[in-house]
Amino acid sequence: MKKKCDMAKSWHRASLLVFTGMVLGALTLNFRGLEYILPAVSAVLLLLGFRSLRQENSWFMGCYILAVFRLAYIFAYLLIHTTILPGLLRDFSIFSASLPVSLFLSFATYFCFWMALHTMKTEAGEEPRTAAAFAVIVWYAVLCLLALLDLQGLLFIGIALVSFILVFYNLSI
């Protein structure tokens, strides 16, 4: 009985780390250094959460591997941006490829997380209700599309914030 309780606590702690990492990673605040701090903290939390869950199934292992790559990418990005290299090398393709790499890692992590939850529910013999995890992928894709279209205004910010709260609230329950 104690082992089952310890497993439940471990699962709760790991899922809380993953959920918090996803929320912080989805926020973009460009003031007081938060544009650097939030992604770094998010990557660490995702790594710690997925590290605990990597034995559950192969999709969680994929999430863990992607979290390792994401953390390495973010810390390399931070390290490079503490030097003069970005100003000297801004015309090179490696710096223009940083956004697609970041988007790929985010989408791949969210996809693997969705499939991991689906697989876990199926293996447990439950009905796989993972619509909230899929909604995170859709929410992120819509936000990327809105950013590409350069839509601005309080209406879009309000809709994005309300949908953010609804999606992540449904993911947490």
The DSSP code sequence of 4-67 is HHHHHHHHHHHHHHHHHHHHHHH----STTHHHHHHHHHHHHHHHHHHHHTTT-HHHHHHHHHH
Mean pLDDT of the residues in the chain: 80
Burial label, 34 (beta-carbon count in 10 A; 0-12, 13-18, 19+): middle
Tokens of 102: 């970041």
User: pLDDT class for 48, splitting at 50, 70, 90?
Assistant: very high
Residues in the chain, total: 173
What are the residues whose beta carbons fall under 8 Å from the beta carbon of 146, sequence distance 6 or more? 156, 160
Judged by DSSP in three states, 114 sits in helix
The pLDDT tens digits of the residues spanning 82-106 come to: 777 666 666 555 556 677 888 888 8
pTM of the complete model: 0.78
